[in-house]
Amino acid sequence: MNLVLVCFVVACAVSVPGLSAANRDPLAAVNPLIGTQKSKLGYGGTMPFVSPPFAMTNWTPQTRQNKISITSYEYDDKTISGFIGTHQPAIWMGDYGYVTLMPQVGELRTTPEARQLAFSHSDETAKADAYAVWLRTAEGTRIRAEMTATERCAIFRFRFPASGVARVLVETSRPGVAGFAAVDARTGEITGYNPHRMDAHLGPHKLPNFKGYFVVQFRKAPKKGGTYGLEKQDASTSRGAFAEFRPGELVEVRVGTSFLSVEQARENLAHEIPDWNFEAVRARLHAAWAEKLGRLQVAGATDSERTRLYTALYHSLLYPRSFSEYGRYYSAFDDKIHAGESYTAFSIWDTFRAENSLLTLLAPERIDGMLTALLQNFQEGGWMPKWPNPSYTNIMIATHADSMVAEAIRKGFQGFDRELAWKAVYKDAMTSPDGDTSRRWLDREEGTPYEGRAGLTYYKQLGYIPTDKTDEAASRTLEDSYDDWCVAQVAKALGREEDYRFFLQRSLNDRNLFNPALGLMNGKTSDGRWAPIGGAEDTNENRSVAGWTEGDAWAYTWSPLHDQAGLLQLMGGREAYAAKLDAHFSGGHNVHSNEPSHHYSYLYNFAGQPWKTQAKVREIAAAEYGYDAGGLDGDDDCGQMSAWLLFTTMGFYPVNPASGEFMIGSPLHARVSLRLRNGKTFRVIAESVSATNLYIQDATLDGKALKDPVITWEQIQAGATLKFRMGPKPSRWGAAWQPAAIAAK
């Protein structure tokens, strides 16, 4: 089976003209260390995960104790204190139910500071299908550590030096967390659980039944085993277990994880790693990545460019993560076990913009399950979540799961309950959260009920959310308007014409915040006065008064993804719209490391100046994405930063993801192809493309002239060939196109 799969991937690669032999294995181009180093460019907050696409548990070396705002691995650290099975999806989110293993020699050392061992990047091999490193002990010897993984499990090889006690430590939980571990005296098997949820304070649910369970098995029974920390009740003690072996041994370890039970962790292990064959597990993981990465093929890229591209694809295919185990899943919304498929780690405020659209192209077989998971969350907890990790966390604004539903319906996905989806998006749009007018709904405010659309009460009354009543009010108004447009599209698809007209009209609320004196969006107070405009350099408190989320008026003026035609009219026409965009970029307002501005470079198409889009996307791609450990500006945010690069590389981007339309930019390479679910292949060919030949001179779609800077979902799915002729100077290609205005009445 694996051989057939690998041959299939290779055959697909060979079929693309211009591919070298190196292109036949795109996994070889992936560098999981990109984004792990804080650099002049920025910090991606990524980790060198060893796991399949969308895995439930990711495995990574641990150079520091992770928590909210700190990831397990940072490139410039000099020591490793463990190898962690983590569920932390992004730097500013927390972990939950994790387990850590660490090899050591000599006396038992349980704290991260005491057990850490030095390492060098020259002794480290980080790949998507395996990780290996030499660890230097205090005694001057070395331990070889290797790991590879499956969706829920991992297998390790630890080669110990010839002298000293050889030990594998299993950390169940950290100080203050009531984790548990037990050792089977006969086999040495270590079992246990970790109930820690770092984000528990950010959502309304306590979840007394939540636990991350694990089973650790050794190929050869240890000569000794034990537990530590379990008998102590003080908050300074961590908990765990250990197994000891004779010096000089190769110790093979396999670990199963589960959110259902220890028995399920053992069953997961038996299903995914039934044999003690490290190389076979790695080969299966390699094949899984090769198949996914092989759906995108590129020709005309340098080795460095291929590394940047395929690493971005690797990052984009990690999330959302699977949260079900062979037909069952634990729900972090009602604290019960259910039958079915589930996913979590939806960073929706980030990923609805491009990451989710990328998955509809490159992992369409997952979309129905992901939408079903969100709808199950709605049934079990009362709402579709904003940022499940794994439960409600009330992080970020708006209800962009509405966009994901609308996009899936627009693109013809049928494997989820559309009537249930309507109930979910309708509740988002019409039901105010508990205590809506008595709370300000601060960012990451603790002890709140589910936030939903905070300030919705005012939005329905005034047509906007006032800055003196609700935090981040201006940003909320603009993003809620887009979500209203998405709800309208769902209503239209389901034949609910009256609801469609209602929400389409309400989607124009974004226009209520346009201040003609500034030519920008501006928050309003409850009595209709303009709020202070705020600036990017302001404190969070001042931004709150102005009404913005992680930005300012410049960062949000173009944020209504559905209503650029209306904004263009408000600004006084195409020339004025383009001039304001010029001021946005020249004034240093475009912060690509944060998501609200991701589509801005593509907006010159709306202004009739597509050559500026072509230049700007090239400029951003070169400036914000590098080729080494420090090569990612801004948190990758569950693949969104990477998805922007992938779309830009291909030459188009989903400015309004739920519209089914993609705005054309400037393709980076001579040939790119997408192998589609329906068996067809969509191709982008850019004749004479180079770093200087970045401007589109003309374009064809299946041999027919393409005059507009837009392609559609249907054209991609038809397996069309999009061909550009590139040149060194701007042309008027695409300049005549104009966006259609919303006709709400």
- Residue 301 · residue 23 · CB < 8 Å: no
Backbone angles phi, psi at 569, to 5 degrees: -65, -40
pLDDT (0 to 100) of residue 15:
37
**Is the backbone peptide bond immediately before 195 cis, with ω within 30 degrees of 0?**
no
Q: Which residue has the higher pLDDT, 608 or 9?
A: 608
Taking residues 271-277, report their average pLDDT.
97
Q: What is the mean pLDDT of residues 217-242?
A: 88
Residue 266, token pair as written in the block:
């053992």
Reduce the DSSP state of residue 398 to 3 states and report it. coil
The pLDDT of residue 744 is 67
Q: Which residues contact 110 (CB under 8 A, 6 or more apart)?
A: 169, 171, 228, 229, 238, 240
DSSP string, 674-728: EE-TTS-EEEEEEET--SS--EEEEEEETTEE--SSEEEHHHHHTT-EEEEEEES
CA-to-CA distance for 58 and 55, rounded, in angstroms?
Answer: 7
Q: Report the alpha-carbon distance of residue 98 to residue 172 in Å, rounded.
A: 8
Nearest to 181 by CA among 207, 149, 212: 212
DSSP-derived letter for residue 162 is: S
- The one-letter amino acid code at 25 reads D
- For 210, the token pair is 């939540």
d(CA 527, CA 510): 17
pLDDT score of 745 more than 70: no
Report how far residue 532's alpha carbon sits from residue 535's, in angstroms, rounded to the nearest whole number: 9
Asked whether the predicted pLDDT for residue 189 surpasses 50, the reply is yes
All structural domains of the chain, each given as residue ranges with its CATH number in brackets, are: 37-272 (2.70.98.10), 298-727 (3.30.2080.10)
Report pLDDT for 695.
98
Q: How confident is the model at residue 2 (pLDDT cuts 50, 70, 90)?
A: very low
- The pLDDT score that the predictor gives to residue 164 is 86
Distance, in Å, from the CA atom of 286 to the CA atom of 680, rounded to the nearest integer, reads: 24
The predicted structure's pLDDT at residue 233: 61
Helices (H) and strands (E) in the chain, counts: 20, 31
Rounded to whole angstroms, what are the CA distances from 348 to 23, 316, 526, 710?
A: 32, 13, 29, 25
Q: In whole angstroms, give the CA distance from residue 229 to residue 173.
A: 10
Mean pLDDT of 255-279: 98
pLDDT tens, residue by residue, 468-490? 999 999 999 999 999 999 999 99
Burial 393-429 (b: 16+ CB within 10 A, else e): bbbbbbbbbbbbbbbbbbbebeebebeebbebbbbbb
Instruction: In whole angstroms, give the CA distance from residue 6 to residue 25.
Output: 9
Q: pLDDT value at position 546?
A: 83
**Per-residue pLDDT at 454:** 97
Q: Assign 206 a pLDDT band (cuts: 50, 70, 90).
A: very high
Task: Identify the pLDDT of residue 30.
Answer: 97
User: Phi then psi for 572, rounded to 5 degrees?
Assistant: 105, 20
User: DSSP assignment, residue 530?
Assistant: B
Mean per-residue pLDDT, 328-353: 97
Q: Which of 21, 85, 4, 24 is nearest to 284 (CA)?
A: 4
> Does residue 121 surpass a pLDDT of 70?
yes
Q: What is the mean pLDDT of the chain?
A: 94
Main-chain dihedrals φ then ψ at residue 297, nearest 5 degrees: -125, 145
Environment class of 274 (CB within 10 Å of its CB; exposed 0-12, middle 13-18, buried 19+): exposed
Q: Is the pLDDT score of 532 beyond 90?
A: no
pLDDT-based confidence at residue 528 (cuts at 50, 70, 90): very high
Rounded to whole angstroms, the Cα distance separating 604 from 322 reads: 38
CA distance 571 to 462: 23
Residues contacting 152, CB < 8 A, separation 6+: 55, 56, 57, 256, 257, 258, 265, 268, 272, 325
Given a cut of 90, is residue 447 above it in pLDDT?
A: no
Confidence check: pLDDT of 740 > 80 = yes
**Across 101-127, average pLDDT:** 96
pLDDT of residue 231: 81
Contacts of 529 (CB under 8 A, 6+ apart): none
Closest to 117 measured CA to CA, from 63, 81, 168, 64: 81
Q: Name the helix (H) or strand (E) containing 159.
A: strand 153-159
Q: Check residue 555 and give its pLDDT.
A: 94
Q: Give a three-class secondary structure readout of 313-336.
A: HHHHCCCCEECECCCEEECCCCCC
Residues 248-259 have a mean pLDDT of: 97
pLDDT at 675 exceeding the cut of 70: yes
Look up tokens 């079903």; give the residue.
Answer: 372
Question: Tell me, what's the pLDDT at 17?
Answer: 39
In whole angstroms, give the CA distance from residue 401 to residue 111: 41
CA angle 638, 55, 9 (to 5 degrees): 95
pLDDT band for position 235 (cuts 50, 70, 90): low
Under 8 Å between Cβ of 409 and 362: no
Query: Are the CB atoms for 296 and 13 separated by under 8 Å?
Result: no
Apex 571 CA angle, 568 and 572, nearest 5: 90
**Which pLDDT tens digit goes with each residue over 620-654?**
999 999 999 999 998 999 999 999 999 999 999 99
Over residues 223-249, mean pLDDT: 88
Nearest 5°: the CA angle 529, 533, 537 is 155
What pLDDT is recorded for position 544?
58
Please give the span between the terminal C-alpha atoms of the chain, in angstroms, as a whole number.
57
Contact (Cβ atoms closer than 8 angstroms) between residue 286 and residue 30: no
Q: Are 375 and 421 in contact (CB under 8 A)?
A: yes
CA angle 443, 447, 449 (to 5 degrees): 85
